[in-house]
Structure 1
Amino acid sequence: MAILSLSACAEADGASEVFKPNYRGVETRLLQGDLVQFNVSMTGARTPADVDNYAECAAAQYAVIRDFGFARHLRTNLKQEGGVWRADAVYTISPSLPRGLRTIDAEVVVANCKANGIPTV
C-alpha cells in the first residue's frame, strides 16, 4: 500500500513528467576581446538550471571553436514569458584556466552536453 501511495504523490507533483526540451537557438555576440554574450531560448525547461545549462553548452562550444580551452561565467539574466525561457549569459573565454569560481573546461563541458542531448553552437 505504501508504494501505491508514494507513486500517486509523485504523479500529483509532476515528478513523473517526461523532460521534453525544445532548444530554440543561440545568438552569439562578441562584446570585446574575450568577452562573449550568448542569448538562448527554449521551451520545456523544468527549472532555470536547464536554461543555464543550455547557455553554458553554447559558451563551451564557442570556446572550443575559437581554440580556447576554458570559459568563465560572469552573469546570466533569465526570464520566462509565455512558456518560453530566455537567458542572456556573458562569459569570458581564455586559452588557460582563468581565475574565478565559475570556470569551465570547454572540452569536458561540450562532451557532457552532447551526452545529455543539449545542443551547442
Structure 2
Amino acid sequence: MMARAALISPLLLAACGAQVSGDQAMSFAPDYRGVETSLLDGDLVQFDVSMTGARNQADVDAYVECAAAQYALIRGYGFARHLRTNVYEEGGVWRADAVYTISPSLPRGLRKLDAEVVVAHCAENGIPTV
C-alpha cells in the first residue's frame, strides 16, 4: 500500500498542505461547475473543467486530477499519467483543459496517478469526480 500512496500527485499534496490564514480557510467555498471529457485517441483523454471559488491554480489542478482518476476507474483502468494542463481565470471563473493517458498498469513518467488512491483522497476532501 505504501507504493500506491507514493503515487499521489504533488499537486494534490500541495493543495492539501497549503498554508492559509483563518480568513482564507473559512472563505474557501469552491463551486465545481462540471467536467467535460473527450476521448482523443485510444487511451488519450482531454478534461475540461470549470469552477469558482478557487484559491489558486492548485485547486483547479486538484479538480482535474480527481476527474482523470475517476475516468480511469470508469474505463476499467487503474492509472493515469498527466501530459499537460492549461489553466486560466477570467471574471472569477477558473477553467482548465488537461490531457492524460489512462492505463491498466503503472505508466512511465513523473506525474502519474493511482486512480483508486486519488479518488479516495478526492472523496475525503469533497472534490467531485466525473
TM-score, normalisation: structure 1: 0.87
1:91 aligns with 2:100: yes
> Residue 58 of structure 2 is aligned with which of 32, 41, 49?
49
Displacement of 1:18 after TM fit? Answer: 2.4
- Number of residue pairs the alignment of both structures matches: 110
> Residue 119 of structure 2 is aligned with which of 91, 110, 113?
110
Displacement of 1:19 after TM fit? Answer: 1.1
State how far apart, in whole Å, the 2-side matches of 1:97 and 1:29 are. 22
State how far apart, in whole Å, the 2-side matches of 1:67 and 1:16 are. 36
State how far apart, in whole Å, the 1-side matches of 2:111 and 2:24 are. 29
State how far apart, in whole Å, the 1-side matches of 2:28 and 2:80 are. 28
State how far apart, in whole Å, the 1-side matches of 2:36 and 2:75 are. 16
Displacement of 1:104 after TM fit? Answer: 0.5
1:61 aligns with 2:36: no
TM-score, normalisation: structure 2: 0.81
Question: Aligned partner of 2:59: which letter?
Answer: D
State how far apart, in whole Å, the 1-side matches of 2:45 and 2:25 are. 37
Question: Runs of 5+ in structure 1 lacking a partner?
Answer: 1-9
Residues 2-50 of structure 1, C-alpha deviation per residue, up to 9 Å, x if partnerless? Answer: xxxxxxxx57xx5454210000000000000100000000000001000
Q: Which runs of 4+ in 1 moved over 3 A?
A: 14-17
> Residue 109 of structure 2 is aligned with which of 89, 100, 103?
100
RMSD: 1.2
1:64 is paired with a residue of what secondary structure? Answer: helix
Question: Runs of 5+ in structure 2 lacking a partner?
Answer: 1-20
1:101 is paired with a residue of what secondary structure? Answer: coil
Question: Aligned partner of 1:37: which letter?
Answer: Q
Matched with 1:7 is none
State how far apart, in whole Å, the 1-side matches of 2:32 and 2:70 are. 15
